[in-house]
Structure 1
């Protein structure tokens, strides 16, 4: 398979050597080291990134601190809002370019996943633009002697370190950039080494929108080097991280040095529960895409599919048949629904889970193999479904991050709740039923940050998203996220 011609047509890739973006300009890595990044649809070299390390992070954080105390600190809420709106306009104008970069970089289907998300992406940016003028304090009556006026107000926390995952960097960065720009903070972003290009291009657009140098910086590189240095840096006030629970634990440890504030969206093993009274015409495709969207590379993927025993056989048959209708292939093709996995490393990981599942007694109902032929140069795997799974099996407990569904039978509502909550994770969940009482009992009983009923994966920026238990803490979206980028001050004015 040849490199898709659109890659050669992107001006941003005319020079495939990409530096760090620090203080408003491109800056080569201090070490001179670089990382190759590959197109997962064909395994070919796409670009060469700076392998940033502690020295580059030091420079980026220093630039962010200067910007925080410099001209950026004098931007009014209205000016910050206007800048975000200008950025939203540029983002919309360049959306096709950005999504093509993203598709080439991490393999998401261009026409059936990335470009249909345009409205949601723009709405997310504009939501934070609105929040720029919605930061308020209070005047509070007090019981102090004399003529003392008491009030509170909110101030930006300072420099924010944003560590962005590879499974959706274009939109993932918006939940860091949005509150940073709305509140007056500054940022150093560290995108994943497997998918950094859309974040680097976005930095250029921010400068074009009029952002002062140093407000947003980007250091590419390995997590163990650049990411670890950012998490431990004493002049970073907040870390926003999306990624694995294991890495989240390391970030918590690193944050202790200067008591950083944290927002952690970590792993998941989300339950999606189908009751016998569910509309299967709605539930089957809904549950399937809760597993297979982005080739299963979504933290909240509903890969533990609990099905009431009386409809289990029918559901498995229909679920497997639906998976076979999903075209797996070139992410630039119009009708592709599933693209490749991000890397050969991730492909091997997913296939190893398939092998373990069969050894533990799960029944392979469909899929389970790497795709060959014209797709053999990429990292493609069939949509996969296992039946006869028990909740204690490896595939029902560990996050696979691939298009692998585990179907587990249950009999009663109470059993479904017990099984759903029998996991260290608590990121998201789904319920499919025509009974509102059943729906409400599950909403209240499931231990997860989000419960979707008769739908899956919907996220609105005004509502937000977050985890529970080992899926992390903190919130993306809504007023809660804005508050996380601010700290509260109290003022006592003695005017007697």
Structure 2
């Protein structure tokens, strides 16, 4: 891997020394050992980055759609050249197994760019409305981005690429747990010819950089992905300047198995999806809703899946899961597993502590709980680990009621039988679920489709045309 400028920030097209702040070690979660040290910024660094973005905005906002499409094509080419390095960095800092990093964690940096390019090609920044007025979509201004560690480049790309497409300038604060991929991404944008000041990077923590960015009077918009608790604090910090705030927050996604679905297939797919990325996905199907008549059989299948799920080193290729990202995350997941046991849930598979053969690293056991009621902590709180809660339901109406009985509303999943009648029934249920995305029978949302949720899962949508629109102000000109 190229030696990255961990002691510097990328501001106004160059790598600069911090104006204040401290440093933090970057920990490999498989070894619990530091492999790098990065600088943490201060409010002074935020001021410098915002000033650069503000100065660059007038000229970049005037660029044409054609010029931005050419810039995005150059970014894609530069990203592809650094692809293997990106995947390796995410594996080392976040603990995603290298096969997952290669086929998914790094791949989304290309996929989301392609989705935005397709949307931008057909996007009308000016059009006449039905009553003859001219409607303009104009870039909102300087944007502040605060991104998480669990799918790091995914969230960076979902903010940076549509913002560039809209003509905005920006300041990025990536997670201090996973800063290395963001440093690579800054180099990629520089190599692609992004004009100076358009993209700026300041590493730091929430109190030191995130709060300053959220409250900054020259930042027109904050886009945040992370916990609901942090999203609330960011919204409060942004309120006095009445800036736009878009939030992609937590989830507790239901997975409804209809009584005529292929149970073996549906349970296996749902449990594996829950455990993917070591359960560290906001849209993971963590609540499996099963008809009462098939509940015991479903738990046996889930038990087999959990016990067959291998836990291994991130550096090794394969379909195993890796460690959680950090000691605090490990402690949180262990605490929630114990809480579920204390509240009376049946431990079907897994449980507390590390898997057999591991005495270091933030590794956890793939865990399944049965006899879960929807008022238990394990059914209401986002675990962010490979922990599946299985809940029984009486009929379709009861399933929808349980699915919607959550403060979150990010994603949902429905598994049906093969008949047209069963698929129509599944579609009817999908329409009743209060969530931003519903996946039928193992399908996935395509690049360019809107990603986001209802309720405490946030506001705004990322990806494609919806992502570009989020970075635009709308102006009506009467003629």
1:219-234 map, 5 Å: 219-234=202-217
1:179 aligned to 2:167? Answer: no
Q: How many angstroms apart in 2 are the aligned matches of 1:172 and 1:185?
A: 17
2:291 is matched with 308
Query: Is the counterpart of residue 344 in structure 1 residue 327 in structure 2?
Result: yes
Tell me the residue number matched to 1:135: 124
* In structure 2, distance between residues paired with 1:99 and 1:222: 23
- Give the alignment partner of residue 463 of structure 1, picking from 434, 449, 468: 449
Structure 1: distance between partners of 2:55 and 2:429: 49
Alignment partner of 2:3: what SS? helix
Task: Report the CA distance shift for 1:415/1:150 in structure 2 as closer, same or farther (over 3 A).
Answer: closer
Deviation by residue 1:349-388 (Cα, 9 ceiling, x = unmatched): 1000111111110111111133266532210001000111
Aligned equivalent of 2:8: 19
Aligned counterpart, 1:40: 29
Q: What is the root-mean-square deviation of aligned Cα atoms in Å?
A: 1.7
* SS of 2:240 mapped into structure 1: coil
Structure 1 residue 115: Cα displacement: 2.6
Residue aligning to 2:84: 96
- Determine helix, strand or coil for the equivalent of 2:84: helix
Provide the C-alpha distance between the structure 2 equivalents of 1:445 and 1:196, rounded to a whole number of angstroms: 40
Moved over 6 A (4+): none
Tell whether 2:69 aligns with 1:81.
yes
**How far does residue 113 in structure 1 lie from its aligned partner after superposition?**
4.8
Give me the TM-score of the superposition, normalised by structure 2.
0.95
> Residue 449 of structure 2: SS of its match in structure 1?
coil
**CA contact 1:163–1:240 (8 Å) conserved in 2:** yes
Which among 246, 251, 254 is matched to residue 268 of structure 1?
251
Task: Decide whether the 8 Å contact of 2:108 with 2:153 is kept in 1.
Answer: no
**Displacement after TM superposition at 1:347 (Å):** 0.5
Structure 1 residue 475 corresponds to structure 2 residue 461: yes
What's 2:427 paired with? 440
Per the alignment, residue 237 of structure 2 pairs with 254
Deviation by residue 1:152-198 (Cα, 9 ceiling, x = unmatched): 22210001111101101112111111111111101101111111111
1:56-455 map, 5 Å: 56-70=45-59, 72-116=60-104, 120-133=108-121, 134-140=123-129, 150-371=133-354, 375-434=358-417, 435-455=422-442
Looking at structure 2, the residues matched to 404 and 391 of structure 1 have their Cα atoms a distance apart, in angstroms, of 15
* Distance (Å, rounded) in 2 between the aligned partners of 1:442 and 1:141: 35
1:55 paired with 2:38, answer no
For structure 2, the residue ranges without an aligned partner over 5 or more in a row are none
TM superposition shift of 1:443: 0.7
For residues 404-433 of structure 1, the C-alpha deviation after alignment (integer angstroms, 9 at most, x for no partner) is 111111111111111111111111111111
Return the alpha-carbon distance in structure 2 between the equivalents of residues 119 and 336 of structure 1: 16
1-structure distance, mates of 2:114, 2:240:
35
Alpha carbons 2:416, 2:426 under 8 Å: kept: yes
- TM-score, length-scaled by structure 1: 0.92
In 2, distance between residues paired with 1:197 and 1:459?
28
Tell me how far apart the structure 1 counterparts of residues 274 and 283 of structure 2 sit (CA, whole Å): 9
Cα distance in 1 for residues equivalent to 2:467 and 2:284 = 22
Q: Distance in 1 between matches of 2:306 and 2:328?
A: 24
Alpha carbons 2:126, 2:135 under 8 Å: kept: yes
Q: How far, CA to CA, are the matches of 1:57 and 1:159 in structure 2?
A: 12
SS in 1 for 2:348: strand
- Equivalent residues of 1:99, 1:114 under 8 A apart: yes
* Cα contact 2:355–2:365 (8 A) shared by 1: no
SS in 2 for 1:375: coil
Question: Are the counterparts in 2 of residues 131 and 182 from structure 1 also a CA contact under 8 Å?
Answer: no
Contact 1:96–1:115 under 8 Å retained in 2: no
Shift in Å, 1:260: 1.1
> How many residues are treated as equivalent by the alignment?
474
C-alpha contact 1:81 1:130 (8 A) present in aligned 2: no
**Counterparts of 2:455 and 2:414, CA distance in 1:** 20
